[in-house]
A and B are shown apart, each in its own frame.
Chain A
Amino acid sequence: AQSVSQHNHHVILSEAASLELGCNYSYGGTVNLFWYVQYPGQHLQLLLKYFSGDPLVKGIKGFEAEFIKSKFSFNLRKPSVQWSDTAEYFCAVNRYGNTGKLIFGQGTTLQVKP
């Protein structure tokens, strides 16, 4: 069965620090990969997605992620975080052609100190 593992459950950073959140998935077929963010009191929003092509994808608000197929990983990065990045971040995967069924990781709570 598909599964997604996020390495960090709770991360605390100071503003301007660099961020990397780990995500590994378990599935042997073709997959689509996503990072979603949930700001306090708001709905889940898409940060970025990978379907195919360049394994380095850029998303909104300066976030990027790198797909490493050999490692089944899709890590999220941001060079310099801001207080407004405080949120919960979810890595997710679905099987190619099966858009509606997303398998989510457990989420990482990011707290950025001003």
Chain B
Amino acid sequence: KAGVTQTPRYLIKTRGQQVTLSCSPISGHRSVSWYQQTPGQGLQFLFEYFSETQRNKGNFPGRFSGRQFSNSRSEMNVSTLELGDSALYLCASSFQGKDTGELFFGEGSRLTVL
């Protein structure tokens, strides 16, 4: 079974630009969550989607948004990039997103903002 796939793996942007990251969950998984990992703040929850609906949202500004498609694939978008947005963005999927517990993580998309 293929794991969680994230694209692109690496990208460099400049301040003010916007970026879209993609995540393909494990086949059959309907919940997709996004996390930001930085050396200073660690792993922080961004948002979770389940059946194309945002179910949970973390404490990030509105510049961070996401969506989920009918095939459970998800995208997250960051607009008006700031230097502090440089991070590893992780996507995780789970079977039902409820009571099953385990999240399966992708390898992440490393964003550098110059």
Which residues of A are interface residues toward B (Cβ below 8 A)? 32, 34, 36, 42-46, 49, 51, 90, 92, 94, 96-107
Return the chain A residue nearest B6 by Cβ. A43
Answer yes or no: B98 CB below 8 A from chain A CBs. yes
Q: Which one of B4, B55, B92, B101 has the greatest number of beta carbons of chain A within 10 Å?
A: B101
**Nearest chain A CB to B93 CB, angstrom units:** 9
Whole-angstrom distance between the alpha carbons of A46 and B94 in the complex? 12
Question: Which one, B45, B58, B97, B107, contacts A43 given CB within 8 A?
Answer: B107
In-complex Cβ contact of B97 among A90, A99, A103, A106 (8 A)? A99
Q: What residues of A have a CB within 8 angstroms of the CB of B98 in the complex? A: 97-99
Determine whether the beta carbon of B94 is less than 8 Å from that of A90: no
> How many angstroms between the C-alpha atoms of A101 and B45 in the bound complex?
6
Q: A92-B43, A101-B33, A101-B48 are in contact. List 19 more A-B contacts (CB 8 A).
A: A32-B101, A34-B101, A36-B105, A44-B90, A45-B105, A46-B103, A49-B101, A97-B98, A99-B94, A99-B99, A99-B100, A99-B101, A100-B32, A100-B48, A100-B92, A100-B94, A100-B97, A102-B43, A102-B92
B33 closest partner in A (C-beta): A100
A104 CB contact (under 8 Å) in B31, B43, B50:
B43
- Name which residue of chain B comes closest to A95, CB basis: B56
In the assembled complex, the Cα of A101 lies from the Cα of B50 at a distance in Å of 12
Cβ 8 A contact of A100, one of B44, B55, B105? B55
- Residue numbers of B with Cβ under 8 A of A are 3-4, 31-33, 35, 42-45, 48, 50, 55-56, 58, 90, 92, 94, 96-108
With A43-B108, A44-B90: A99-B43 Cβ-Cβ less than 8 Å? no
Tell me how far the C-beta of B54 lies from the nearest C-beta in chain A, rounded to whole angstroms: 10
CA of A49 to CA of B32 in the docked complex: distance in angstroms? 19
Residues of B within 8 A of A107 (CB): 42-43
**Closest Cβ of chain A: how far from B108's Cβ, in Å?**
7
A6–chain B nearest beta-carbon distance, Å: 9
Residues of A within 8 A of B99 (CB): 96-97, 99
- List B contacts of A32 (CB < 8 A): 101
